[in-house]
Structure 1
């Protein structure tokens, strides 16, 4: 068939003999390169079923949607959004379970995107909405659909909570997000983590005020209907819909979240089957000022005496040749930092845990429900 130059430029290409999957009904399809170590067809079947569930939930079925996978051992688990589709990468040891959160999240962006804004900076300032809502629903909707177990739901929730509550930049105001988003991993993850926990709290508040007759779902579905009707979905639109649910108190709490006030969640925020406990966990701490160092030729500065980095042998003036702070390091409290540095012309490898002072942070565990239902 004949394609225009614009269509060709937005086409995703694969060479060789890619694996393929097509859902028996609907327009969901997938293609992938390489030979994954997991059952890719089974994972795509899972994704197709979830995609159909999303369409029903949002009252907006999408007739065509595609997923493209490719082998990338140097950066597995990453993804990029495309038109009515997205592409992701996997490595030799990647498992299907590791990809579920990412697949669930990226598919949500077909329906859940940022508020209507002007310019990239404005879009980053509004990422608490699009990314936070996607993280909230990436575990909630698959759990409701039976696509995630209670343990998988909790694993996703607790990863978010542990990263958020051990983030030393937790109180960063939202208007500072755009300027630091691409410079500081601690700031970059905040819209995802803070936004998702804010929406969890908002849901609990709406349910409580309406005596169970309404929830965040009703607000979101109504809000997205505005966009489908051709009306802009701006920050003012959001404020109007929020005020209808919770009045001025809801507006006050939303603005406090944007100002950087940490989110506090009640134990029963996720229904009767999950309760909160506190556990000790180290604050994410690279041990040196990695933002200033990266801006100065990756020359280490601001080394903290007594930090794990200093104890492992890192010194001010070392030049980082490889390694550093990353989102994955911040997410996994067990992750070890591996820095390859140069000191006086000599290569040195520094390995340490990027954790500092011990904090008591909330995590959720499963309990037996006396009400007989674990619905969210």
Structure 2
């Protein structure tokens, strides 16, 4: 079974939850912009979204509208905004990502455009790039960053949101609902999710006095109520750590069919929501760490200083994604969402993937360059950053641990929230750690992040009853080109010196598929199905190649009494 868990980078632009901002009559310079969304329906099918923007023109009569550009791996997102029409002014387009409206100063303008789907059909479950509009034929699932054109240099504008189902049966779930009641900062439009289908099911929970809404679409092996119960426990555990965050929250879960051999769940943490796309064969328990990870993004990195702006954003993913993985596992164990065995299994999967990654030696500059195009590079900041957090926790243990630094980062960022002195969290981490603990962590950051050196955890890295074992095994090698074989459906690149050839496989044989095996692990037998003399046959072999790879894994004692287990959990999770 191949599990594809691509956690897209969080790009949250606001901090204050769903709180609406009143229109201040004493501040007439604050413009009010109204955004109206409705589906375009033809023959009972959703063809596109219609977006209408009503806003005052700039004081000089030239209003520049910034179109969506890049977000979550989606590039040139302006491609999906079509047919702009303006009432109250004249429209021109000086470049692909800007619309300019010329009018009388402060004239009332109405801009209308369509948003079309980025996909011919549903998005592929194995795609690293899904930060693009998903529209039709039954409904839509979009992120605000990908559909809304906003006026340039008007960050103080207020926005109101309107939804028009246009006589359709669509049921909209969105974190923009409060903006239907009262206008709020226009910055809330981007980090928002809008999901609308006729069969959307919503479940609601109270988490520490704040409402949680869970909206699901699709047929899963669990109910929306069960998913909401799990989400509430996860959110409660994270809020208990940070000591705040009591604001309304929305989770949207859209299901898609599962191709044979695939389980995929992918999510984007937004400011007051997170959006999930998942194959419908995913089990409820598979979401435990995933939900915890995504909700942690409400703080990491946004409320700790935010992400690095622009194309260099992946340079900080060792912190925003790797540290989030570290805390997701630790807090889930602390809250009893997972047991020691599940905690260790999650770590062992990550440690194995890291050890066998073809990108293991990539430095941080190479991660920035290849993050959205190379899957191995994309996973590396998660793997590397989580292990780095373990090392730093041990280094800081006598000084209050990593928790002390993270809470100090939160407090510093809160003081700077309304100023221009915002420092991205990944860049603020080292000076804050030095300030509150007196320990300089810059050498570790340079060694393992900037230069990309291999991390090997010490045997006692996790404490308690857990130990880290270091093993070697033969390098993984099939002896053929599996990617090209998958495309051609015949065996390609069979090396006469490799294990596939030794098992009897030959170039050009008709390929039917893979059976079993574990990518990267040469100790697990793999089977390749071929057709020979008109009959199917599975050829099994160990994918052992030349050389060795060093891997690490966490070992849990086989026999632990209740008291010893509780003591171990406390020592590991804090």
Query: TM-score by structure 2 length?
Result: 0.53
1:146 to 318, 332, 336: 336
What residue in structure 2 maps to residue 31 of structure 1?
215
Question: Displacement, 1:322?
Answer: 11
Are residue 96 (structure 1) and residue 300 (structure 2) matched?
no
2:308 and 2:315 in contact (8 A); partners too: no
2:522 and 2:543 in contact (8 A); partners too: no
Question: Which is worse superposed, 60-69 or 87-96?
Answer: 87-96
2:471 and 2:550 in contact (8 A); partners too: yes
1:242 and 1:251 in contact (8 A); partners too: no
Distance 1:281 1:102, change over 3 A: farther
Distance in 2 between the 1:117 and 1:223 partners?
15
1:71 and 1:90 in contact (8 A); partners too: yes
1:277 to 462, 469, 472: 469
What residue in structure 1 maps to residue 365 of structure 2?
175
Name the one with the larger helix percent: 1
Distance 1:87 1:57, change over 3 A: same
Distance in 1 between the 2:313 and 2:462 partners?
29
1:191 to 378, 381, 388: 381
What residue in structure 1 maps to residue 228 of structure 2?
44
2:522 and 2:544 in contact (8 A); partners too: no
1:273 and 1:366 in contact (8 A); partners too: yes
1:271 and 1:374 in contact (8 A); partners too: no
Q: Which runs of no fewer than 5 residues in structure 1 stay unpaired?
A: 341-348
Question: Which is worse superposed, 41-50 or 352-361?
Answer: 352-361
SS in structure 2 opposite 1:78?
Answer: strand
What residue in structure 1 maps to residue 326 of structure 2?
136
- Equivalenced residues, count: 356
Question: Displacement, 1:270?
Answer: 1.3
Question: Displacement, 1:17?
Answer: 2.9
Question: Displacement, 1:112?
Answer: 0.8
Distance in 2 between the 1:98 and 1:149 partners?
13
Distance in 2 between the 1:187 and 1:286 partners?
21
| Bigger RCO (CA 8 Å, 6+ sep) | 1
SS in structure 1 opposite 2:439?
Answer: helix
Distance 1:355 1:255, change over 3 A: farther
Provide the alpha-carbon RMSD of the alignment.
4.0
Are residue 238 (structure 1) and residue 434 (structure 2) matched?
no
What residue in structure 1 maps to residue 249 of structure 2?
65
Q: Which runs of no fewer than 5 residues in structure 2 stay unpaired?
A: 1-33, 37-50, 52-147, 149-160, 164-188, 531-537
1:18 to 167, 191, 200: 200
1:66 and 1:84 in contact (8 A); partners too: yes
Are residue 106 (structure 1) and residue 301 (structure 2) matched?
no
Name the one with the larger strand percent: 2
Are residue 226 (structure 1) and residue 409 (structure 2) matched?
no
Are residue 366 (structure 1) and residue 550 (structure 2) matched?
no
1:132 and 1:193 in contact (8 A); partners too: yes
Question: Which is worse superposed, 160-169 or 192-201?
Answer: 160-169
SS in structure 1 opposite 2:422?
Answer: coil
Question: Displacement, 1:44?
Answer: 2.1
What residue in structure 2 maps to residue 262 of structure 1?
454
Distance in 1 between the 2:506 and 2:372 partners?
24
What residue in structure 1 maps to residue 535 of structure 2?
none
1:243 and 1:251 in contact (8 A); partners too: no
Question: Displacement, 1:218?
Answer: 0.8
1:217 to 403, 407, 428: 403
| Larger Rg computed on CA atoms | 2
Partner deviation per Cα, 1:309-368 (whole Å, 9 max, x = no partner): 6667575xx8xx9999xxx9569985969799xxxxxxxx99987764553422112235
Question: Displacement, 1:164?
Answer: 1.0
